Chains A and B, each alone.
Chain A
Amino acid sequence: MRLITLMLLAFCIGMVILVVKIYKESSFYIVNSTNAVLGKVYDRNGDVLFDQKATPETYGYDHFTDIANLIGNDSRQMTNTLVSENIEFLSNYSFSLGIKGSDGQSSIHTTIDHAANKAVYNAYGSKNGAAIAYNYITGEILVCVSKPGLNPFGGYVGLEEGSLLCKAFYKFTPGSTQKVSTLAVAHEMYGADLLLSKSYHCSGGYMNTGRTTIYCHNRYGHGFQNIDAGFANSCNPFFAQLVEDPDFNLETSFELLKKMGYSVNGSAPYRLEINNMSVQTASTNLTDKSDFSTQWGFIGQGETMVSPCMLMMWQSAIATGTGKAAVPYLIQYTTRVDGTPDNHAVNSVTDEFFSSATAAFVKQIMLNNGQRYTSSIPGYTLGVKSGTAQIKDGAEENSFLVGFDSNPEHPIAFCVLIEDRKSGEVTTDSIVHTLLTNLK
């Protein structure tokens, strides 16, 4: 008799588990149904970013081109996009209410500013690249462009490479923008006084102890420079000598880089997810400080890889002066099927990337550097670092500009990337200018 009771009980427990599971996951099941009518995605001003039933007539042919590779769709072909990873919020369904068609009110309200996003997208002209900007205090992502874009009305055939993903979330060689990290590492290791006392000579090239030469972009050299000038000149020999300095402890730098979120020599990187979308962060391979590739890594070439999103987050840590970055997010809030708001975004900060003293020091140096941009980006007090990354063995050059607006009423950190830029073409400065002007 006990056995019968036991079996019946076991079955009942199983049933309860089943019912709870189905009840909880039913909205996930329903988005796979052909009867499902998905809700819409809006930007911060109520502009529609995703509509399952969109037609060129209702929205205009190019309405979604600048944002579609971030927002994605429900086809299950575009993974790691906002809609595909958060499709349950759009299900227009609840177990008790059943499927609601056009009268369902499920939606996602994002933090994106579609007008600004479109302006930045158009500013790229014929060039490809990525631009991401967010409010470095709250974490709202305002602009997230990845070019080539995707026109959902154009069908999904004959697509350009990279048009189906958001490049800001994937790693690139950062070029000289890496020097911000190297500067932060050096300050954490030395402190301000010792670091300011260091000065190295640049004669257009520097032969390191490993008998390889690191060239400067200025063939005639910069002469003797301190850290401020070395950073402003983005002088490669300066940073190579900084790394080779007897006071520079490589082991300590590994720990400091890991704290900043790097995966050093295969260690676990900083894990970042923006509304269930996974974002690559940063990685580097460093061996010996007299080694060319290690020095090259600290300068931002070679094996160092950083995603634009991560570059932007370090700007947040610098601009706030705390060493902690605001965690970026895209979903401001969602609405349930009956229209009640839900899932309000929570502002949060990351763990400390570096100390607040370092943040303040780097901020000052970047602000100093930013004064050189008053002509190309007029009207803003910016902390800026540019960078040029050589890829494909120097055949192409990616142009970067990272920075922040120090105006507390306009707290924007940004990272702009133009791929395969040649002189005479659109500059990162002009894109940043477009970006900041449109976000005002």
Chain B
Amino acid sequence: MTREKTKLNYFLVKLFVIVTHLIFLGAVWLNGNYNSLFEVIKLAVIVIASDIIYFVITSVLEQDTYTIDHLMVLIVNIGLIFQSCFGDVVFNLKHFITIVAGMVAYHIGYILTRNSFKAESFKPYCYGGVGLLIVVILLFTGSRSMWINFGSFSIQPSEFIKPLLVFICATSLYKQQTKKKISIFTVNTDTIYMLAIAAVILLLQWWCRDLGSIPTFAAVVCCAIINRICYPRAKLSKKKIGIIVGLGIVLVIIALKLAPSYVKDRLYVDIWADRFGNGYQQCEALIGIAEGGWLGKGPGHGHLCEIAAYDTDIVFSAVSEEWGMFAAIMFIILVLVMLATPLINSPKCYYHGNIAVGVVAVFVVQMSLNIFGSCNLIPFTGVTFPLLSNGGTSMVTSGFLIGMLKATQNPVCVRNIIEKKPERQVG
């Protein structure tokens, strides 16, 4: 084999990403509602400059695949353009800072996860981290709140549990198969720890009344359990699927029966009957989508920016209103495509496969809760939309999770178990 072909040429891809951003900026320039052209130029310069800076950084890194990097840059900067256009076109500095923080978290996530054996050895720290966060939540946030305020900054500690839980839920083939005998039962200690910590987290969330996060955690744990029940690459037998689905339905029914009345009230809400009360946000969100139509009212022309949480909880509607339903769906497809990359480039080891499933579970559940919640298909919970919502904590954790996803594509196989330290090879 010749030495020249060790690297693919990515110039075209990078060019396309930049051109796409330019076109979006062009749309802002032509249709936008802005006071001075300076704001648009400022936005454009920052978007394009950050694109280029990032591409320079990636070209230094040696990786098997850059797919997720390119998609990430594309998505994040489109998100920045969207966020800068609500109400009128003003460069959104806060969102830009969170994006930078998110990108840093993205790289940290990547570096921590890319060596599956090392990552697995972090597991005890993850338990410790979750424990610490739980203590923090118990000490600093009240029973009905999930925020800690530092001056003008506020942090949602429960968000950080998500990547830790994904770490905890992932397991290598060897660990999964190791069983210990405790009295009469042969059990996998790892699974027991996982279930225990999951139960603690869910109880904590219930206590905090952070109902929006419960489905996310539950989904991650469920995926992990399914992974563990159905051995690697085994076909899901019909019996097993039947049992799992049956159990799920029974659990949901029991939960609905036992749920206190105020939870039930939240489950069945006719928002139009309470148009100016509790249903106000959702009604306005739906009206916004309807007014936007397919192609939107134009950047900066929306009215949803007057509604609370327009840039977080009902961000899907706000984008729909200004850019049209097509654009909003396009953005979602972009995120989905990014989540689907493990299907094309399947992870090389079982641990990474587990991580990928966990990350996809978090994203899919978060996105469904956000979009379907704001559009009244399911109860409105106030969950953020990953990578688009304006929120530091959410952005950092989403970035970290995507970093983990990227790591599954670019594994490094190093394991320091032998006295003789092997020669490092970047895979």
Contacts and interface: CB of A to CB of B under 8 A. Distances in A.
B290 A1 contact: no
Given A5-B343, A8-B340, A30 B332 contact: no
Interface stretch (A92-100, A131-139, A253-261, A338-346): A92-100
A191 B343 CA distance: 79
Interface in A1-35: 1-5, 7-8, 10-12, 14-15, 17-19, 21-22, 25-27, 29-30, 32-33, 35
B294 A29 contact: no
Contacts of A17: 377
A10 B215 CA distance: 15
Interface in B330-363: 332, 336, 339-340, 342-343, 346, 353, 356-357, 360-361
A23 to B, nearest CB: 8
Nearest to A4: B360
B360 A8 contact: yes
Interface in B239-295: 272, 275, 283, 286-287, 289-291, 293-294
Contacts of B343: 1, 4-5
A7 B364 contact: yes
B340 A14 contact: no
B contact face: mostly helix, strand, loop, or mixed: helix
A7 B361 contact: yes
B236 interface: yes
A180 B340 CA distance: 73
Contacts of A21: 375, 377
A54 B329 CA distance: 40
Contacts of B145: none
B371 A4 contact: no
Contacts of B364: 7-8, 10-11
A11 B336 contact: yes
B356, B360, B371: residue with the most chain A Cβ atoms closer than 10 Å: B360
B367 interface: yes
Contacts of A97: 293
Contacts of B294: 95-96
A22 B286 contact: yes
Contacts of B346: 1
Interface in A180-209: none
Q: Which of B283, B286, B372 has the most CB atoms of chain A within a 10 A radius of its CB?
A: B286
Contacts of A12: 336
Interface size class of B (residues with CB under 8 A): 35 or more
Given A11-B368, A95-B293, A32 B275 contact: yes
A99 B332 contact: no
A17 B375 CA distance: 11
Contacts of A7: 223, 360-361, 364
A348 B329 CA distance: 44
B11 to A, nearest CB: 30
B336 A8 contact: yes
A76 B286 CA distance: 18
A293 B326 CA distance: 67
Contacts of A98: 291, 293
A2 B223 CA distance: 11
Contacts of A95: 290, 293-294
B287 to A, nearest CB: 4
Contacts of B357: 3-4
Contacts of B272: 32
Nearest to B219: A7
Contacts of B368: 11, 14
B413 to A, nearest CB: 20
Contact of A99 (B291, B353, B356): B291
Nearest to B286: A29
B293 A15 contact: no
Contact of A14 (B226, B289, B293, B377): B377
Nearest to B227: A3
A76 B272 CA distance: 10
A27 B325 CA distance: 15
B356 A11 contact: no
A97 B291 CA distance: 10
Given A15-B329, A15-B332, A22 B289 contact: yes
Given A10-B364, A12-B336, A15-B371, A4 B356 contact: yes
A438 B173 CA distance: 89
Contacts of A4: 339-340, 342-343, 356-357, 360
Nearest to B360: A4
B287 A1 contact: no
Contacts of A33: 287, 290-291
A19 B236 CA distance: 31
B204 to A, nearest CB: 25
A22 B290 contact: yes
A15 B330 CA distance: 12
A32 B283 contact: yes
Residue from A1, A19, A27 whose CB has the most chain B CB atoms within 10 Å? A1
Contacts of B293: 95-98
Contacts of B353: 1
B237 to A, nearest CB: 12
Interface in A97-147: 97-99
Contacts of A8: 336, 339-340, 360, 364
26 contacts: A1-B343, A1-B346, A3-B223, A3-B360, A4-B339, A4-B340, A4-B356, A4-B357, A7-B360, A8-B339, A8-B340, A8-B360, A8-B364, A10-B364, A11-B364, A14-B368, A14-B377, A15-B332, A19-B329, A22-B290, A22-B325, A32-B272, A32-B287, A33-B287, A76-B275, A98-B293
Interface of B: 223, 226-227, 236, 272, 275, 283, 286-287, 289-291, 293-294, 325, 329, 332, 336, 339-340, 342-343, 346, 353, 356-357, 360-361, 364, 367-368, 371-372, 375, 377
Interface of A: 1-5, 7-8, 10-12, 14-15, 17-19, 21-22, 25-27, 29-30, 32-33, 35, 76, 93, 95-99
A-B pairs with lowest CB-CB distance, top 5: A26-B290, A29-B290, A33-B287, A29-B286, A7-B364
Given A15-B329, A33-B291, 19 more contacts: A1-B346, A2-B236, A3-B223, A3-B227, A4-B343, A4-B360, A7-B223, A8-B336, A10-B364, A11-B368, A14-B377, A17-B377, A19-B325, A22-B290, A22-B375, A26-B289, A29-B287, A32-B272, A96-B294
